[in-house]
């Protein structure tokens, strides 16, 4: 996985701060977090029996430094969906 640049990391952290993401960890109360390098991508289906993924939702992941509790923030809410970004591997949605 390619590492984000310092500028990319700073931009994401700034966007999280602007959204008020500043509360302590809901599990252990720690106030120390790490931005995990790389996008987490959730595959959405209409029904559980569906074999194909209908839509991909990319997010960034923040990990509690003490207990490892993970939180995910959708890129759209952070204003990052229209910026240049690597496509998730195996993206099933191809232009027609």
Which residues contact Zn ion by CB under 5 A? Answer: 25, 27-28, 30, 64, 66-67, 69
- Which residue, 12 or 64, is less far from Zn ion as judged by CB? 64
The arrangement of strands across the sheet holding 55-64 comes to: 33-44, 55-64, 70-74
Q: In terms of CB distance, is 4 or 69 closer to Zn ion?
A: 69
Smallest distance, Å, CB 67 to Zn ion?
3
Question: Closest distance between Zn ion and the C-beta of residue 28, in Å?
Answer: 3
Q: Distance between CA atoms of 45 and 69, rounded to whole angstroms?
A: 25
Least CB distance to Zn ion at residue 35 (A): 15
| Nearest-angstrom CA–CA distance, 96 and 93 | 9
- Identify which of residues 15 and 66 has a Cβ nearer to Zn ion in the complex: 66
What is d(CA 9, CA 21) in angstroms, rounded to the nearest whole number? 15
């Amino acid at each position: 996985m390619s590492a984000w640049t310092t500028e990319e990391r700073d931009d994401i952290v700034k966007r999280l701060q602007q959204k008020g993401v500043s509360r302590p960890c809901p599990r252990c109360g720690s106030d120390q977090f790490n931005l995990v390098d790389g996008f987490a991508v959730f595959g959405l289906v209409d029904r559980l029996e569906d074999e194909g993924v209908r839509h991909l939702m990319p997010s960034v992941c923040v990990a509690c430094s003490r207990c490892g509790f993970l939180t995910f923030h959708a890129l759209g809410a952070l204003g990052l969906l229209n910026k240049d970004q690597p496509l998730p591997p195996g993206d099933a949605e191809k232009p027609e």
